[in-house]
Amino acid sequence: MSDQTIVAAGFIVYLLAIAAMGIAAYLRTHNVSGFILGDRGLSYWVTALSAGASDMSGWLLLGLPGLAYVSLYESGWVAVGLLVGSYCNWLFIARPLREQSAGYGDALTIPEFFERRFDDDSHILRSLSALCILIFFIFYTGAGFVAGGKLFEASFGLPYTTAVLIGAVLVVAYTSFGGFLAVAWTDALQAILMFFALLTVAGLAFWDSTNLPGRVHPDWSAIQTSAGAPVSWLVITSALAWGLGYVGQPHILARFMAIGDAERLSAARRLATGWTGISLCAAIAIGMSGHWALDAHLVAGDSEKVFIHLINVLLHPAVAGVCLAAILAAIMSTADSQLLVAAAALTHDLLPGRGADPQRVRLRWHRGAVVLICGFAVALALDPGAQVLDMVAYAWAGFGAAIGPCVIMSLYSADTGRWSALGGMLTGAVTVVVWERIEGGIFDMYALLPGFGAGLAAIMLGNQLASTLSVLRQPPR
């Protein structure tokens, strides 16, 4: 049996397990609430692991090791920002969002929650937030398909376009079939698989570098960014700013809304934080070890394949198949969540008139929307020169700036009204889009930070203006 056949066997076993979960979820999904949010019945450990897997995606096994390979210091600051941001998201957002989303008429999506929380009978806020989700998730899901294309291309020598299409078909099949339960269950399995692969490769790479003679360790004394420039306060601030994005990620927030018992969120937070912290450290260690464990130096976009190359060099084909399947798991665990949330934004929030249809008809609309959105993401991913980390960074900034400030103020500011929230959402989204198109000086800062700050400031300014107008409208005594 050839090595490639053994590797393929690992993929097949993994895909069979995913298919079984998809079928089981399909049999338990009978209504729109089940398809979108699993009838709010997730256990704490599925909530924690599925949130981690859907958060990290293929960039944890491709993008972050690639960044660490090019710039250890920049990747380290990104990891710190993500770990702190993830922990704060669980600590300050998870429970109030779970309780309030259920309390406001059992809102199933973030746009629906905004509409009910801010009493927006014009539906403008719900439509705008759903539109932001659709636009930015096409980029985010496209990043996943780029990662999938690179995986199949490097592992089996497939043409890039064919590889992207295979990955997309795999994801869309069980997502449209089983809905939220299929996504959550498979994501929990995928989190375990990703964790195993990261620790295995990182550990073997460390052993290889310390126990075999002749290994040349890179010179880390030159502190540079991935672009080859010195690390400055602007670079560090931009890297740490990644943590701000968590509060605006609908696919992660959906996990908070779906847990069955809000009292178990503390246990879920501890499990999720531990998984995230260890996984980030292992991913950076893999990027570092690529310098001394690989014979050839990786350049440009090939640096994002450092994990794949290490698997092929260090592992027996049987174990390599499992670890390569972990990359596919990382890709699928985020792409499926994004497709599901984006489909809900289209059919549940932008086309709410479908609510009068029978449940089976509405389910067909949701499943069809998954396929449609997948098509747009695939079209974006067909560029073989696309960088996973760049696409993720753009979408992460867009969500963090547009949705994040509204989530915070909806949960912690009773004075925030719909027009303030609307202004904040527009300001945050536009700031990110404009900021990304300007280069040089302060505009080299990651767009999430100015976008988030501008969105939050716009909401606060709107609240102050509304309060002032309310006072002026009061009749004199």
Q: Are 116 and 107 in contact (CB under 8 A)?
A: yes
Whole-model pTM: value is: 0.85
- Weakly modelled stretches of the chain, pLDDT under 70: 1-3, 58, 177, 208-231, 300-301, 352-360, 384-389, 475-477
| pLDDT recorded at residue 440 | 80
Q: HEC string of the chain? A: CCHHHHHHHHHHHHHHHHHHHHHHHHHHCCCHHHHHHHHHCECHHHHHHHHHHHHHHHHHHHHHHHHHHHCHHHHHHHHHHHHHHHHHHHHHHHHHHHHHHHHCCCCCCHHHHHHHHCCCCCCHHHHHHHHHHHHHHHHHHHHHHHHHHHHHHHHHCCCHHHHHHHHHHHHHHHHHHHHHHHHHHHHHHHHHHHHHHHHHHHHHHHHHHHHCCCCCCCCCCCCECCCCCECCHHHHHHHHHHHHHHHHCHHHHHHHHHECCHHHHHHHHHHHHHHHHHHHHHHHHHHHHHHHHCCCCCCHHHHHHHHHHHHHHHCCHHHHHHHHHHHHHHHHHHHHHHHHHHHHHHHHHHCHHHHHCCHHHHHHHHHHHHHHHHHHHHHHHCCCCCCHHHHHHHHHHHHHHHCHHHHHHHHHCCCCCHHHHHHHHHHHHHHHHHHCCCCCHHHHCCCHHHHHHHHHHHHHHHHHHHHHHHHHHCCCC
Kindly state which CATH superfamily the domain 3-384 is placed in. Answer: Sodium/glucose cotransporter (1.20.1730.10)
Site of tokens 């489909």: 343
| pLDDT recorded at residue 324 | 79
Q: Are 58 and 330 in contact (CB under 8 A)?
A: yes
Residue ranges per structural domain of the chain = 3-384
